[in-house]
Amino acid sequence: MPQNLKRFEQWAIWLFGLIIILMPILGIGSSINKEVQTSAEIANELNYLLTYVGPNHADFKTLKANKIAEIIKFVSNQKEKGVLYYPEDIDGITSSYYEVDVFRSLDQILQLTDNPEIPSVFTAPSTIRLSRWKTIETNDLQRPKLWEQLPNLNEPISFSGIETVVNTPDENTGAYYEYDLFRSVILTKYNGRNMLISLSKQVDTSNVGRKGLIIGQDDQWDYFYSDQVGLNRAGLSWVDSYIYNSKSVAFYLESASSGSMVRIGVFKWLRAGWYNINFVERSHIYDGLDRFTRVLKQIAEHPSIAHNTKWVDTLHEIQHLPKNRLQPIIQDYLHTIQKQAHKDHTLSSNEIKAISTDNLYMNSLDRDEMQAILTVEFLKQLMGKQSSIKFKADEMAH
């Protein structure tokens, strides 16, 4: 193929893909009317923090609070409504910022989000299918129970490692991905306020994107995962897409006036697309962060979860259910979402057949994937949502 023709084809693909992806997302919505880049001082401080994550990260003992003062000031301050704030892009990676206030103490939030006994899907059912730590750089190779350190937090507590993540289908393209992240977590104080800093850098390019589907409304947390490579969008089903690079700096900062409120502020950079072209817009990142933090807030503030920890025992039961007990429960779930998908016309006849015929889809699910489904269904029950599994959570092991 002549070079000029090849270049034209690549640009045509880029333009067509951009139009298809952005058609349903004309901006972020009526509530956002402008974008504002944060200061150069904040950019410098973010780059400083990112030296503390990765294979050759800086020694956590050298972290100085006065070197991140502008970021903390920015996160703490009230923001102008209708503005999407974003930090300076890094190496051409698109960036965005999002924040939310959660009316729980940092202690309560850490017991949910950084608890080795609670799967990540329990607090991120709309964005994470599965996650697991491949390596943890601690003396006992275990994640510390950070909330236990809060009463006597005289010096920073930190750890790092590598986490494997499989996300849920993207709301715009339907694709889902698997990738590894370098992670660093630092629990410290700033002017007497408890603060958690969570850092991440993507290890390498993700696995190729595969077609997934959201069954019903996204807030019902029912998803279908196919093995087919591509995007679940008309005209783009052939695309080999990837997440090429990502970074994040997240703050969990207790309120200066009350220990019962935590502001979560997340700076994120993302580069993803195909043909090595980045199709990510700031609005995409903003929407993804909103999808994650909005659900986390709902879960953390829900009285059935915040004021009663007996449900942790049920999570333990789920993690220890034998495969022959998991399979019939998951089959009931799949029958229910099959009916929903048929009603909503969200699955093709072949995909519905994969769910319903000879247990093809169920047999493709491994133990971790089935446990994740059951964990989300139990979470729905705790929150008063409609569950696709008809059983009482406290009787499932019998």
Compute CA distances 28 → 35, 101, 170, 213, 228, whole Å: 11, 20, 15, 22, 29
C-alpha distances (whole Å) from 169 to each of 31, 236, 381 are 25, 15, 23
Q: Are residues 199 and 93 in the same domain?
A: yes
> CA–CA separation, 308 vs 296, rounded Å?
17
Domain boundary among 279, 301, 323: 301
Distance CA 145, CA 110 (A): 8
Are 263 and 347 found together in one domain?
A: no
- Indicate if 318 and 197 belong to the same structural domain: no
For residue 351, the surrounding DSSP H or E stretch is helix 349-356
d(CA 200, CA 120): 15
Are 340 and 292 in a shared domain? no
Residues 160, 296, single domain; the answer is yes
- Alpha carbon distances (Å) from 274 to 168, 206, 228, 269, 327: 19, 12, 16, 17, 37
Please give the model's pTM, rounded to 2 decimal places.
Answer: 0.90
Residue-wise pLDDT for 122-134, tens only, equals 999 999 999 999 9
372 within 8 A of 293, measured Cβ to Cβ: no
Same domain flag for 235 and 383? no
Do residue 54 and residue 123 come from a single domain? yes
Q: Are residues 81 and 185 in the same domain?
A: yes
In this structure, what is the dihedral angle of CA atoms 61, 66, 68, 71, given to the nearest 10 degrees? 150
Give the end of a domain, one of 249, 271, 301. Answer: 301
Side-chain half-sphere CA neighbours of 35 within 13 A: 15
The per-residue pLDDT string of the chain (398 residues; one tens digit each, 9 = 90 and over) reads 555 545 545 555 555 555 445 444 333 344 677 999 999 999 999 999 999 999 999 999 999 989 999 999 999 999 998 899 999 999 889 999 999 999 999 999 999 999 999 999 999 999 999 999 999 999 898 999 999 999 999 899 999 999 999 999 998 889 999 999 999 999 999 999 999 999 999 999 999 999 998 988 899 999 989 888 999 877 778 899 999 999 999 999 999 877 789 999 999 999 999 999 999 999 999 999 999 999 999 999 999 998 777 899 999 999 999 888 999 899 889 888 888 777 776 666 666 666 656 577 888 899 999 999 999 999 999 999 988 886 554 444 44
Write the DSSP assignment of 48-83 as a string of letters.
Answer: HHHTTSSTTPPPGGG--GGGGHHHHHHHHS---TTE
Give yes or no: residues 17 and 123 share one domain. yes
Q: What pLDDT score does 256 carry?
A: 81
Instruction: Tell me: do 238 and 353 sit in the same domain.
Output: no
Side chain identity at residue 307, one-letter code = H
Domain hosting 384: range is 309-398
pLDDT digits (tens, 9 = 90+) for 100-122: 999 999 999 999 999 999 999 99
Q: Quick one: pLDDT at residue 347? A: 63
Q: Phi then psi for 228, rounded to 5 degrees?
A: -80, 130
Cα–Cα dist 272/268, whole Å: 13
Same domain, 323 and 283: no
pLDDT value at residue 194: 94
How far is residue 14's CA from residue 82's CA, in Å, rounded to a whole number? 29
Q: Give the model's pLDDT for residue 352.
A: 61
DSSP structural state of residue 150? G
Question: Which residue, 280, 301, 322, sits at the end of a domain?
Answer: 301
Domain count, the chain: 2
Q: What is the CATH number of the domain that holds 7?
A: 3.30.530.20
Do both 109 and 144 map to the same domain?
Answer: yes
pLDDT score recorded for residue 83: 95
